[in-house]
Copies of this chain bind each other. A is one copy, B any other.
Amino acid sequence: MTASLAGIVNHQVRLAARPVGLPRATDWQFTEAPVAEPGEGGVLVGVRALSLDPAMRGWMNEGKSYIPPVGIGEVMRAGGVGVVLASRHPGFAPGDHVSGGPGVQEFWSLSAEEVKRSGLAKIDLRLGSLTQWLNVLGMPGMTGYFGLLDVGQPKAGETVVVSGAAGAVGQTVGQLARIKGCRVVGIAGGAAKCDWVVGELGFDACIDYKQAARVGVEKWDAVREGLRQHCPAGVDIYFDNVGGEILDSVLARINRRARIVICGAISQYNNTSAVQGPKNYLALLVNRARMEGMVVFDYAARYPQAIAEMAAYLADGRMKSREDVAPGGVAAFPATLNKLFSGENFGKLVLKISDA
């Protein structure tokens, strides 16, 4: 191994400035570093693929949140999967496939201490492919699993609406809700995504929020009309990944004792003015309903059980997944990340770093 690392360069992407609105090229800095052999108890990982997530936009902002912001000049935080290239840790051997938080770089070098607190974990490719370990078996899958089941508490026969339906979290939420016997209505941008979640994933219906612009009706009327049409018995659970007008449109249709799971608000993440608060929030009062936030890390102790359940669904065909694997390596990170905010990705967005 030692010989092979000589002269190898680790390409990295660092946060250069806190973005105002949509991240721009000048918010990023490309750096290079040598790749070193791991020290005693350490591990060196070759990164294969990175998870690109809406939450990344929040990590770039100053201020108190559920985790500290990425510091200026630091390698951008990112989840990823890779292969162990060298190890002086008894739990990891070269060739092991692993997942964790390598950040946006090609090589991830962990000290003994970092192995302990980084969440580096071996993954079993018999349960799912590398990219599925970033999707249904990874953070988005865990987010959907615990957000829907623990916070949403679905009961068979209830109507579940999920926005970002073709995205990483949305596809898991919808399929899990179907498995639990719910009626599932997705909201997604574009006919292709809607066709896929209905035709391939078995959602009962999907509302195309971009349709309005095409057919020339008032911007959000297509969503409201879709909800009227596809949720004739109202909405019992809304799993919200987007916020904004769509959240308000769903609030107007909730049932008594409805649960709104607040997972994200991608429509608001690049706002340069204040977040748009849900003006229909008093529907919570009238309907004795609940709006609750969740952060997936709280459920870490239960990931193994959830992964086992999800892997079983993958194996028996009840759960499918779609990853949108973007090429270009770390150099393509800035442009690829922004695809999330325009909704250009179709499925869980993954940045391929290396085959090796």
Q: Which residues of A contact B (CB under 8 A)?
A: 64-66, 243, 248, 262-265, 268, 274-295, 298
Contacts and interface: CB of A to CB of B under 8 A. Distances in A.
B282 A280 contact: no
B286 A280 contact: no
A331 B264 CA distance: 51
B275 A281 contact: yes
Contacts of A263: 285
Contacts of A292: 284, 288-291
Contact of A276 (B279, B284, B291): B279
Contacts of A64: 286
Nearest to A248: B277
A250 to B, nearest CB: 13
A288 B278 contact: no
A262 B275 contact: no
A66 B278 contact: no
B286 A66 contact: yes
B288 A295 contact: yes
Contacts of A285: 66, 262-265, 293-295
Contacts of A248: 277
Given A278-B281, A280-B277, A281-B262, A298 B288 contact: yes
Given A262-B281, A275-B280, A282-B262, A293 B288 contact: yes
Contact of A291 (B264, B280, B284, B288): B284
17 contacts: A65-B286, A66-B285, A66-B286, A268-B282, A275-B279, A275-B281, A276-B279, A277-B280, A278-B281, A281-B291, A282-B293, A285-B295, A288-B295, A289-B293, A290-B291, A290-B292, A290-B293
A330 to B, nearest CB: 28
Nearest to A274: B279
Contacts of A295: 285-286, 288
Nearest to A55: B285
Nearest to A281: B277
Contacts of A282: 243, 262, 265, 268, 275, 293
A33 to B, nearest CB: 32
Contacts of A268: 282
A263 B288 CA distance: 10
Contacts of A265: 282, 285
Contact of A294 (B278, B283, B288, B294): B288
Nearest to A265: B282
Contacts of A289: 292-293
A265 B268 CA distance: 24
A203 B279 CA distance: 31
A265 B285 CA distance: 10
Contacts of A66: 285-287
